[in-house]
Amino acid sequence: MDTDTTAELQKSLGIDIDPETFRLALTHRSFAFEAGGIPTNERLEFLGDSVLGLVATESLYYDNPDLAEGSLAKMRSAVVNTRALASIARRHGIGPHILLGKGEELTGGRDKDSILADTVEALIGATFVARGREEAFAFVHRLIDSMLSDAVNLGAGMDYKTTLQEAAADLDLGAVSYEIVSSGPDHAMVFTATALLGANGWGTGDGSSKKNAEAAAAEVAVKAIRTIYPDYTR
């Protein structure tokens, strides 16, 4: 693992972890197996998942005193799901740093939502182990606070596609549809979706599946609507 690029990644994430723990957090089981059974990041992932869930739950509970348990649970799910965590990993360029086995490398594992999401959780766990509870919690807040705010502002369906449907109907912007194109080899195909309201494109997003690409496009479209119609609060 290149020391300079590792330092750049830690700087991007705003953390300072010793090299051994940081490397462990990036060690996928496929790499560990091919390297003769060295430790994997799965224990750190297990810990990070719990830390992430606690921070998200605590923030939603105290910041939304009037919301019922069901609504809080849906908001938490919108933030700690695999697609959301994978988007965090892509935003910070984590994928190129993951230690993968040759098989996973050849099948596009470096951009798989599940591997990216698991690595984010492992990095949270590594921060907890290396730097303690306070810094780990602060790290999680930096990663998810903006998404928590978005979750609070989503419509009743608690996802951007449902919210886009509601906004398009409320504002008479036209029927929602998606145009999808794909690129790349079969084992690492990338889908690009454009969210259309009537005949007009309002947002474009990429994903490793059509569903994820549509969700990403819907998110861009919803944010565009909120910019153009600031008084729309549904």
- Whether residue 118 is annotated as binding a ligand: the answer is yes
CA 82 to chain centre: 6
**What's 95's DSSP letter?**
G
| Exposure class string for 60-91: b at 16+ Cβ within 10 A, else e | beeeeeeeeeebbebbbebbbebbbbbbbbee
Active-site annotation holds for 121? yes
Which residue type, as a one-letter code, is found at position 197? L
Q: Which residue has the tokens 């490397």?
A: 23
- Whether residue 121 is annotated as binding a ligand: the answer is yes
Residues paired with residue 69 on neighbouring β-strands, in sequence order:
none
Active-site annotation holds for 49? yes
- Whether residue 170 is annotated as binding a ligand: the answer is no
Q: From the candidates 121, 150, 159, 214, which is the catalytic residue?
A: 121
Residue 63: which of 50, 51, 76 has the closest Cα?
Answer: 76
CA distance 104 to 122: 18
The annotation places the binding site for Mg(2+) at 45, 118, 121
The annotation places the binding site at 45, 118, 121
Which positions are catalytic?
49, 121
